């Protein structure tokens, strides 16, 4: 016997989904389909780390090693033929001018004039890895800004892509937006793998960055809108893990392929098959419900009940759905006569408390995204195997995502101290990395993994905290403001290699994280508080006991 349902109590859609199974076989199938576009986002989001990787290189010295064929990168005679930098590395674009005479196999000192340098005619690389450095001839220090521009262009395009993707998603549906984004993103990435000059590459990178907003956002919304309220944190965690798997796949692929062109093609070609999602992926049931498309909602609810084996609850659920459909016109008419929004942007600007919190949250978003992506980029330049480092930096996000489900609910920590504490630990790890012996690879990896773990935890919690601290009617808008400003962090991350000539980037990562931790302590705790509906309620968070849940 199945437990009886209370059919007298009016159901909203959240209750309907809960009655038909919160995370059954249907939801598992749904989340399986979402693996592929999210993995694509994780893969493409950081591929510039490997595409622009500057492998150590030097001038080829034809007088000593011929004009072709494999050669040793650091032969004994090299200091007599190539000048060295202060870091005791061979210059990338200069060598000593050879004196007149026949080539000699042992390269004696008198073969070169060490008082005069000339440019390279060809280059020798320390590793057999191919990036755009070779294909676009970006060999010299003055070309470093061009490599940095590749990563920044994608982030820059997302500033336009994200809001437009939101508008498109609300108007035409989450599924349609997702499929358009994946297909055009895959085509853009495939095109990137064939271009032969930097200008065209950057233009295509703008398109790929623009389309990225059409994939992750709608996919994340699809994932959460399929679940009832109680399971949304679980759904969010799974999406974060899928993204992590995309990063791991990226590291494994570059380790195997050692070439940027097949790296881009590896995932872009199969992603074209996701055009099939037009037919096999159900649209967001909440979007259909909000748009009044009740026939399609009913089909999805029937599929959920059949797959989750909860068909005994289906009649009561459909009865409430049909009642809502019949009353929709009256509801809409009533809404026309209801009071207008009690919260406006003008009120937000006039509230010193809300503006103070908004500025702090914006900075914290920017700080943590800057540190998160900065540590990921730096992982390929520290000692040891760069691919293993990158993969470990991606895998550490999985336990961080799991921890984010329960640590913020610990009364002694809450959202505020979890955020501040993870900021502080991340900053301390960055500063410790800067201070320790650079040759100690084990501690290097431990500290940078600690920083990445805490950064991932901070991102998960700051998203939740930001959603809880602002009033309902402008919550989404103010969250979008924080997210958009936060992307200034990733925008500057590709410029970090340029900064490395003047200071250790870990100093900056640590300082930004410490400042973020201090600032977030200026905001109130939101654990066990009622979500504020008005400006006044939002201002009173942390002041009065009335905001505590009873």
At 259, is the pLDDT very low, low, confident or very high (cuts 50, 70, 90)? very high
Phi, psi of 113 (to 5 degrees): -95, 100
What is the C-alpha separation between 424 and 516, in angstroms, rounded? 8
Q: Cα dihedral sign for 389, 394, 398, 399?
A: positive
Q: Cα dihedral sign for 14, 17, 21, 22?
A: negative
The answer for residues whose C-beta is within 8 angstroms of residue 333's C-beta and 6 or more apart is none
* Whether the predicted pLDDT of 9 surpasses 70: no
What is the C-alpha separation between 73 and 94, in angstroms, rounded? 15
CB atoms within 10 A of CB 271: 22
- Per DSSP, the residues of 47-96 read THHHHT----EEE--HHHH-SSS---SS-TTHHHHS-B-TTS-B-SSEEE
What average pLDDT does the chain have?
83
CATH class as words, domain 16-55+127-328: mainly alpha
Instruction: Indicate the range of 26-40, 74-88, 122-136, 284-298 predicted with least confidence.
Output: 284-298
What is the C-alpha separation between 152 and 157, in angstroms, rounded? 9
pLDDT of residue 257: 94
Does 117 or 152 have the greater pLDDT score? 117
Query: Which CATH number fits the domain 344-543, given the four candidates 3.40.190.10, 1.20.120.1460, 1.10.274.10, 1.20.1250.20?
Result: 1.20.1250.20
pLDDT of residue 341: 46
pTM, rounded to two decimals: 0.83
CB atoms within 10 A of CB 160: 13
What is the C-alpha separation between 516 and 195, in angstroms, rounded? 41
Q: Percent of the chain having pLDDT more than 90?
A: 29
* Whether the predicted pLDDT of 325 surpasses 90: no
pLDDT tens, residue by residue, 408-465: 878 888 888 999 999 999 999 999 988 876 666 777 778 888 999 999 999 888 877 8
Q: Supply 502's token pair.
A: 């003047």
pLDDT tens, residue by residue, 480-497: 778 778 888 888 888 777
pLDDT of residue 531: 65
* Whether the predicted pLDDT of 200 surpasses 90: yes
At 36, is the pLDDT very low, low, confident or very high (cuts 50, 70, 90)? very high
* Whether the predicted pLDDT of 475 surpasses 80: no
Phi, psi of 259 (to 5 degrees): -150, 130
CB atoms within 10 A of CB 473: 14
Q: Percent of the chain having pLDDT more than 70?
A: 88
pLDDT of residue 136: 92
Phi, psi of 193 (to 5 degrees): -70, -10
Q: Could you tell me where in the chain the CATH 1.20.1250.20 domains are found?
A: 16-55+127-328, 344-543
CA-based nearest residue to 37, from 271, 244, 279: 271
């Amino acid at each position: 016997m199945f437990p009886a349902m209370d059919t007298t109590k009016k159901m909203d859609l959240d209750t309907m989904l809960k009655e038909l199974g919160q995370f059954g076989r249907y939801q598992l199938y749904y989340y399986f389909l979402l693996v592929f576009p999210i993995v694509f986002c994780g893969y493409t989001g950081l591929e510039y780390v490997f595409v622009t990787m500057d492998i150590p290189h030097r001038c080829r010295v034809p007088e000593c090693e011929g004009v072709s064929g494999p050669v040793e990168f650091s032969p004994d005679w090299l200091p007599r033929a190539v000048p060295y930098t202060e870091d005791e590395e061979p210059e990338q674009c200069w060598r000593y001018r050879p004196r007149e005479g026949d080539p000699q196999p042992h390269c004696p000192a008198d073969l070169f004039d060490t008082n005069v340098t000339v440019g390279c005619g060809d280059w020798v690389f320390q590793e057999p890895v191919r990036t755009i450095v070779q294909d676009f001839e970006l060999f010299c220090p003055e070309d470093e800004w061009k490599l940095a521009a590749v990563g920044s262009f994608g982030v820059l395009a997302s500033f336009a892509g994200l809001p437009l993707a939101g508008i498109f998603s609300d108007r035409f549906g989450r599924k349609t937006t997702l499929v358009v984004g994946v297909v055009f993103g895959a085509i853009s990435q495939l095109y990137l793998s064939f271009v032969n000059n930097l200008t065209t590459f950057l233009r295509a990178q703008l398109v790929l960055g623009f389309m990225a907003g059409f994939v992750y956002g709608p996919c994340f919304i699809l994932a959460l809108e399929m679940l009832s309220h109680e399971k949304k944190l679980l759904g969010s965690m799974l999406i974060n893990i899928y993204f992590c798997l995309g990063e791991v796949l990226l590291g494994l692929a570059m380790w195997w392929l050692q070439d940027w062109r097949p790296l881009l093609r590896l995932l872009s070609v199969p992603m074209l098959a996701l055009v099939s999602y037009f037919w096999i992926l159900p649209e967001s049931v909440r979007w259909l419900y909000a748009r009044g498309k009740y026939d399609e909602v009913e089909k999805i609810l029937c599929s959920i009940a059949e797959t989750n084996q909860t068909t005994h609850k289906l009649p009561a659920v459909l009865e409430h759905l049909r009642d809502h459909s019949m009353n929709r016109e009256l509801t809409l008419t009533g809404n026309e006569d209801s009071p207008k929004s009690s919260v406006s942007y003008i009120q937000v600007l006039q509230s010193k408390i809300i503006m103070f919190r908004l500025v702090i949250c914006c900075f914290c978003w920017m700080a943590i995204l800057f540190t998160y992506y900065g540590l990921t980029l730096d992982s390929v330049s520290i000692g040891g195997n760069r691919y293993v480092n990158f993969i470990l930096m991606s895998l550490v996000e999985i336990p961080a995502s799991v921890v984010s489900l329960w640590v913020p609910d610990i009364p002694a920590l809450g959202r505020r101290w979890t955020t501040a504490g993870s900021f502080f630990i991340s900053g301390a790890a960055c500063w410790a990395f800067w201070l320790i012996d650079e040759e100690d690879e084990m501690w290097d990896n431990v500290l940078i993994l600690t920083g990445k773990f805490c950064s991932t935890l901070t991102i998960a919690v700051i998203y939740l905290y930001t959603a809880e601290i602002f009033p309902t009617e402008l919550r989404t808008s103010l969250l979008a403001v924080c997210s958009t400003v936060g992307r200034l962090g990733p925008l500057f991350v590709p410029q970090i290699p340029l900064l490395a000539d003047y200071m250790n980037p870990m100093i900056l990562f640590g300082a930004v994280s410490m400042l973020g931790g201090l600032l977030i302590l200026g905001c109130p705790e939101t654990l066990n508080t009622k979500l504020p509906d008005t400006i006044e309620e939002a201002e009173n968070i942390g002041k009065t006991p009335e905001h505590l849940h009873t």
